Amino acid sequence: MGRLAIIPARGGSKRIPRKNVRPFLGKPIIGYSIQVALESRLFDKVVVSTDDLEIAEVAKSFGAEVPFMRSAINSNDFATTVDVLREVHNYYGSIYNEACCIYATAPFVTVKLLTEAMHKLDAGNWVSVFPILQFGYPIQRALKFSVNDELDMFYPSFKATRSQDLEAAFHDAGMFYCYRPDEMLSQGTMYASPSTGIVISEMNAHDIDNESDWALAEMKYKYTNNNIE
């Protein structure tokens, strides 16, 4: 049994055209994910799932394998990450008992973080392990607009509670998921139960969904890597 790294990279990104191969500080962004997976030496194989010939060629140039082109049904806007992973696991069968899905636009992933996640998966009975971030503001104080533009609290019972007395809340960092394929695929969700997380700093992650996100991510990456111009 072994470990498989899968990097999903569809060609039809809408908000940022050609997002998965766009240069991030001079290098196609998918290259960061491929290189960290290879450099970690955690995986027996690093593959890219794509429907796009250019992405496939770029992936191969960084050392990843592209064993097949993704099917049309898993290349549309409605296909989920689990759908894509299932297709790859069906191709290889049951030879991998552990795997990691690394997003193509996750340049902040490090060998240290990947290693910590895989070790945590090995050490416990977890189905999935992934990086998480703490919300910067208490979610119990979240507001919403009601009638006539009046602001209401989602959780009015916490109106008078001190911030330091509120329970911390976290969200998925959107970088990668280390998982056990059989259990995760049978549950059909990346948040398969039981899952656990590794808390990371907001300086070590950045979600990239639009042009502003891209620019901020490049600035943050340069800052955290001591490459400030």
Domain extent listing, the chain: 2-132+172-217
- Is the pLDDT at 229 greater than 80? The verdict is no
Residue type, 120: K
Which architecture does CATH list for 2-132+172-217?
A: Alpha-Beta Complex (3.90)
Q: How far is CA 80 from the centre of its chain?
A: 13
Number of C-beta neighbours around residue 134 at 10 A: 13
Query: What are 158-204's pLDDT values in tens digits?
Result: 999 999 999 999 999 999 999 999 999 999 999 999 999 999 999 99
pLDDT at 75: 93
Cα separation values, 9 from 20, 26, 166, Å: 6, 19, 39
- Is the pLDDT at 37 greater than 70? The verdict is yes
Instruction: Indicate yes or no: pTM above 0.85.
Output: yes
pLDDT at 226: 80
Query: What are 200-219's pLDDT values in tens digits?
Result: 999 999 999 999 999 999 99
Q: Average pLDDT in the 100-118 region?
A: 98
Cα separation values, 51 from 38, 56, 75, 175, 190, Å: 22, 8, 7, 21, 22
Helix axes 29-40, 111-123, angle to 10 degrees: 50
Q: Average pLDDT in the 106-111 region?
A: 98
Average pLDDT, the chain: 96
Q: Average pLDDT in the 132-152 region?
A: 95
Number of C-beta neighbours around residue 226 at 10 A: 6
Q: Average pLDDT in the 97-101 region?
A: 98
Cα(81)–Cα(94) distance, integer angstroms: 19
- Is the pLDDT at 36 greater than 90? The verdict is yes
Q: Average pLDDT in the 10-30 region?
A: 93
148 Rama sector, left if φ>0, alpha if ψ -120 to 50, beta otherwise:
left
